[in-house]
């Protein structure tokens, strides 16, 4: 029985991003099996994983190709340290990533989760400027409403108050630029025009602070944890140009949006830019194993490359850096991209998502339906005319979540934003079920 597992769990497991007291009223679901888009709990109930298990899963659960890659590797080498030693999976994966990512990214530094990949980029950028004799560069710019992870460096450059505020006494002093997020654009204004306008705030910050700034961190196109707020690729083009002009690094955090999520393999591709650093994790292993990579240019790499006694090396490590099982899971995931027209199929699915949610645009409690490829977000609102939001204390999104569970769909809204971010292997019927249930859940959740 699920309830036995739940009881044992709640005795000893402290769950992430959870007020544990909620589980006095909201049941904890113990999953015993996953196959494709389906999750099955210990009572045999099935749910479609409509949010790809926190955005990590690309090709469904328990995929035969990824399973085989991991089982094969486990017989050969489960793990070995990556200082002084190397192995074929990490070499193959690095070559592959260099060939797939925007031109100019030439070196791969591995970590084991997204936040750590951000810390690597942060330290590397700072250290690069130091190695170049630019000792004044010690600060970072990021966007309002951005999210880059939970470790202290990553939290410092993020700006979602819910996660950040409590810890603010512990954090780096970051410069925050206005977000290009298009939710608050004027009625009738285009995304492009709004995102362009928002750039003036960034330009001003750079004018004032460029000589003390190492880098700008950005989530290309979608601020996922910041309630799936979205913007136009023109902002990325403007930012790339400005970073060059002011000698500031551009760090693209594609931990959530990389690997086809927004319609192109990498979101930076929609603006045809190459960042100075690219952070990847989440979908990197298809949602199987914790692995992350920070990629950078030859120019950055060369600033560290010198005789040991000059002490310019990047002396940073994690025990599981470049874990072989993670690397073969990533290689198998990239094989799946090569084996069929995944991005083409995603375009079809994205079109269906758009068509099937079109009527929500007129819903009295929907403020916005927005989409970049395989991410579609529906923002609920108390009053459309006055743009008065539902008070957060009412937790309307939780009602959608609970309704979904009774109808075989696992959704997990962010505040008042219901979003769909399904695995790429979802079929038409399953997608229709997800959207039908999300709509029913919304109708129910907005009632008093
Ligand atoms: C999830 C996420 C991170 C943090 O990754 P973790 O593996 O959870 O530490 C960083 N940036 C973005 C954009 C993310 O979505």
| pLDDT digit string, tens, across residues 140-180 | 999 999 999 999 999 999 999 999 999 999 999 999 999 99
pTM higher than 0.85, yes or no?
A: yes
Q: Which two tokens stand for residue 133?
A: 């004799």
The CA 225 to ligand 1 mean position distance, Å, reads 8
Ligand 1 close to Cβ of residue 225 (< 6 A): yes
Give the CATH number of domain 67-339: 3.40.640.10
- Alpha-carbon span 441 to 362, nearest angstrom: 16
Q: Which atom of ligand 1 is nearest to the CA of 290?
A: 7
Q: Is the CB of 256 under 6 A from ligand 1?
A: yes
With a 6 A CB cut-off, is 113 part of the ligand 1 pocket? yes
Angle at CA 377, nearest 5°, toward 392 and 224?
80
Residue 428 has which token pair?
A: 């038409």
Q: How far is the CA of 383 from the centre of ligand 1 (A)?
A: 32
Query: Which residues make Cβ contacts (< 8 Å) with residue 350, sequence separation at least 6?
Result: 263, 371, 373, 374, 376
Q: Dmax of the chain from CA atoms?
A: 69
In ligand 1, the atom with minimum distance to the C-alpha of 150 is 9
Question: Dihedrals φ, ψ of 152, to 5°?
Answer: -60, -40
Give me ligand 1 centre to Cα 114, in Å: 5
Residue of 17, 148, 160 best suited for mutating to test ligand 1, as the one with most atoms within 8 Å of CB = 148
Are 405 and 398 spatial neighbours (Cβ–Cβ below 8 Å)?
A: no
If one residue of 53, 147, 262, 279 were mutated to test the ligand 1 pocket, choosing by the most ligand atoms within 8 A of its CB, it would be: 147
Average pLDDT, the chain: 97
What backbone torsions phi and psi does residue 301 show, to the nearest 5 degrees? Answer: -55, -45
Q: Among all chains, which residue has been given the structure tokens 């799946």?
A: 336
Within the chain, all domains assigned CATH 3.40.640.10 are found at 67-339
Residues 253-276 pLDDT 10s? 999 999 999 999 999 999 999 999
Cβ neighbors of 135 (< 8 A, separation 6 or more) are 129
Q: Which residues of the chain have pLDDT under 50?
A: none
Q: What is the pLDDT of residues 294-318, one digit of tens each?
A: 999 999 999 999 999 999 999 999 9
- pLDDT of amino acid 1: 65
Q: Say yes or no: CB of residue 145 within 6 Å of ligand 1.
A: no
Give start and end residues of each alpha helix (H) in 134-219.
Answer: 152-157, 161-164, 191-209
Q: What is the rounded CA–CA span in Å between residue 273 and residue 245? A: 15
Closest by CA position to 314, among listed 296, 330, 332:
296
Cα–Cα distance, 408 to 40 (Å, whole number): 10
At the second CATH level, the architecture of 2-63+341-445 is Alpha-Beta Complex (3.90)
Residue range(s) in the chain whose domain bears CATH number 3.90.1150.10? 2-63+341-445
Per-residue model confidence (pLDDT) at position 448: 85
Q: Is the CB–ligand 1 distance for residue 147 below 6 Å? A: yes
The answer to whether the CB of 215 falls within 8 A of the CB of 260 is: no
Pocket test for ligand 1, best of 112, 114, 160 (most atoms within 8 A of CB): 114
Give the residue among 182, 204, 347 at the shortest CA–CA distance from 265.
Answer: 347
Query: Closest Cα to atom 15, ligand 1: which residue?
Result: 256
Which run of H or of E encompasses 418? strand 417-420
């Amino acid at each position: 029985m699920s309830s036995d597992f739940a009881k044992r769990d709640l005795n000893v497991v402290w769950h992430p991003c959870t007020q544990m007291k909620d589980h006095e009223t909201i049941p904890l679901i113990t999953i015993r099996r996953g196959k494709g888009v389906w999750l099955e709990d210990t009572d045999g109930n099935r749910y479609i994983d409509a949010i790809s298990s926190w955005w990590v899963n690309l090709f469904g659960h328990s995929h035969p190709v990824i399973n085989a890659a991991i089982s094969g590797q486990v017989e050969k080498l489960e793990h070995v340290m990556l200082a002084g030693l190397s192995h074929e999976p990490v070499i193959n994966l690095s070559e592959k990533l260099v060939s797939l990512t925007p031109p100019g990214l030439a070196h791969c530094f591995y970590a084991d989760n997204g936040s750590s990949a951000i810390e690597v980029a942060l330290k590397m950028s700072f250290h690069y400027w130091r190695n170049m004799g630019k000792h004044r560069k010690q600060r970072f710019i990021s966007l309002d409403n951005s999210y880059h992870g939970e470790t202290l460096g990553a939290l410092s450059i993020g700006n979602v108050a819910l996660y950040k505020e409590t810890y603010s006494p512990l954090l780096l002093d970051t410069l925050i630029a206005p977000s290009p997020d298009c939710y608050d654009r004027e009625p009738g204004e285009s995304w492009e025009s709004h995102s362009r306008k928002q750039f003036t705030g960034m330009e001003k910050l750079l004018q004032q602070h460029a000589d003390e700034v190492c880098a700008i961190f950005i989530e290309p196109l979608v601020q996922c944890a910041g309630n799936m707020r979205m913007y136009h690729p023109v902002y990325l083009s403007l930012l790339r140009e400005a970073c060059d002009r002011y000698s500031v690094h551009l760090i693209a955090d594609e931990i959530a949006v990389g690997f086809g999520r927004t319609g192109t393999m990498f979101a930076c591709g929609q603006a045809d830019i190459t960042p100075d650093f690219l952070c990847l994790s989440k979908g990197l292993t298809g949602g199987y194993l914790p692995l992350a990579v920070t990629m950078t240019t030859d120019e950055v790499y060369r600033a560290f490359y010198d005789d040991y006694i000059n002490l310019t090396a990047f002396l940073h490590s994690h025990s599981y850096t470049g874990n072989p099982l993670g690397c073969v899971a990533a290689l198998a995931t990239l094989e799946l991209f090569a084996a069929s027209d995944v991005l083409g199929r995603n375009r079809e699915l994205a079109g269906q998502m758009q068509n099937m949610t079109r009527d929500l645009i007129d819903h009295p409690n929907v403020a916005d339906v927005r989409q970049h490829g395989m991410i579609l977000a529906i923002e609920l609102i108390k009053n459309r005319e006055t743009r008065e939001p539902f008070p957060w204390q009412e937790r309307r999104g939780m009602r959608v979540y609970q309704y979904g569970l009774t109808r075989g769909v696992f959704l997990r809204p962010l505040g008042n934003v219901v979003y769909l971010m399904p695995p790429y292997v979802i079929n038409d019927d399953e997608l229709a079920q997800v959207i039908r249930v999300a709509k029913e859940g919304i109708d129910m959740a907005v009632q008093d």
